[in-house]
């Protein structure tokens, strides 16, 4: 399947509450809604639904994504996402335990060593398509850890694990920092299975409420003055690491996402 560089990404707006694909309404951006060879879908939610209009309150973020192709072939590898969130959301890790250990091959090793720094979890499906071997879909638990704040950048670690072709940990890094009037985030995903691994879908619930110094706060805090959180997806980068014939070396998409909220008080 040949792929081309596409400047528009079809994203979705989801209702608050449980995040399911059935709840999603697809939004075609700009004026072109032609079918794309690469069909990614992403979405999110913020809980609780009702938030103050003029002060921040702790929240939990739900994030999901699904990556498919029009002809059913394995999608290219998701390698990077650059996402800006409006000023009604902020990230805070002051007082949270930090996971500072290095990568461990054992699936449960990091979970045990950094259990106090856990800030989120979820599930992903990863397709491994080695040459001459039938594609295999593996299910992996996702665990999210606080890596602390350095040079005004909050770092989170999203960890998955695959068992084939050899047992291996996959560690994606998320950085978040205040920039302008919002939060600038960069998601970096490593090479999987030597370039033959592709992310098919994922679901993440991220957030933690804690009380440093006796004051309740959250990893994410938000307010809702205008009924919506605006998300600018500046770049989602896919790479043809398996060097599949007829496919572009890389595909870069962009778009926007609006997540509703309800202001009160």
Which tens digits make up the pLDDT trace of 100-144? 887 665 667 777 889 999 999 999 999 999 998 899 999 999 999
Residue 3 lies in a domain: no
Residue 1 lies in a domain: no
For 176, half-sphere exposure in the C-beta direction (CA atoms, 13 angstrom radius) is 22
Residue 94 lies in a domain: yes
pLDDT of residue 103: 63
Residue 171 lies in a domain: yes
Q: Which two tokens stand for residue 18?
A: 């449980």
Residue 182 lies in a domain: yes
**Could you give the CA distance from residue 217 to residue 195 in angstroms, rounded to a whole number?**
40
The average pLDDT across 83-98 equals 93
- pTM more than 0.75: yes
pLDDT of residue 104: 62
Residue 58 has pLDDT above 80, yes or no: yes
How many percent of the chain have pLDDT more than 70? Answer: 85
| Residue from 15, 91, 3 nearest 40 by CA | 3
Residue 47 has pLDDT above 50, yes or no: yes
pLDDT of residue 8: 42
The average pLDDT across 60-77 equals 88
| Residue from 254, 257, 234, 235 nearest 180 by CA | 234
Range of the domain at 164: 11-264
- In the chain, how many domains are there? 1
Residue 32 lies in a domain: yes
Q: Which two tokens stand for residue 257?
A: 């996402």
Mean pLDDT of the chain: 83
Residue 214's φ and ψ, nearest 5 degrees, are 85, 0
Residue 69 lies in a domain: yes
Per-residue pLDDT reduced to its tens digit, 197-248: 999 999 999 999 988 777 889 999 999 999 999 988 888 899 999 888 877 8
pLDDT of residue 5: 40
pLDDT of residue 36: 58
Least confident of 116-120, 151-155, 227-231, 249-253: 249-253
Residue 4 lies in a domain: no
Q: Are 90 and 183 in contact (CB under 8 A)?
A: yes
pLDDT of residue 11: 44
């Amino acid at each position: 399947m040949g792929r081309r560089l596409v400047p528009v990404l079809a994203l979705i707006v989801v209702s608050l509450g449980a995040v399911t694909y059935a709840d999603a309404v697809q939004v075609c951006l700009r004026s072109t809604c032609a079918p794309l060879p690469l069909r990614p879908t992403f979405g999110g939610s913020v809980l609780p639904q009702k938030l103050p209009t003029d002060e921040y309150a702790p929240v939990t973020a739900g994030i999901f994504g699904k990556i498919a192709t029009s002809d059913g072939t394995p999608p290219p590898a998701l390698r990077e996402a650059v996402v800006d969130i409006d000023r009604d959301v902020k990230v805070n890790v002051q007082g949270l335990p930090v996971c500072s250990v290095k990568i461990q091959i054992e699936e449960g090793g990091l979970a045990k060593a950094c259990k106090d720094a856990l800030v989120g979890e979820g599930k992903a499906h990863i397709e491994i398509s080695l040459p001459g071997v039938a594609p295999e879909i593996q299910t992996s638990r996702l665990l999210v850890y606080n890596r602390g704040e350095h040079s005004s950048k909050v770092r989170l670690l999203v960890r998955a694990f695959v068992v084939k072709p050899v047992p291996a940990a996959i560690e994606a890094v998320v950085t978040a920092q205040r920039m302008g009037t919002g939060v600038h985030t960069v998601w970096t995903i490593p090479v999987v299975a030597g370039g033959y691994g592709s992310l098919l879908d994922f679901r993440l619930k991220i957030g933690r409420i804690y009380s440093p110094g006796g004051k309740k706060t959250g990893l994410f805090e938000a307010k809702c003055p205008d009924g919506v959180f605006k998300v600018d997806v500046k770049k989602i980068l896919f790479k043809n690491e398996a060097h599949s014939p007829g496919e572009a070396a890389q595909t870069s998409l962009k778009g926007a996402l609006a997540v509703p909220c309800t202001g009160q008080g």
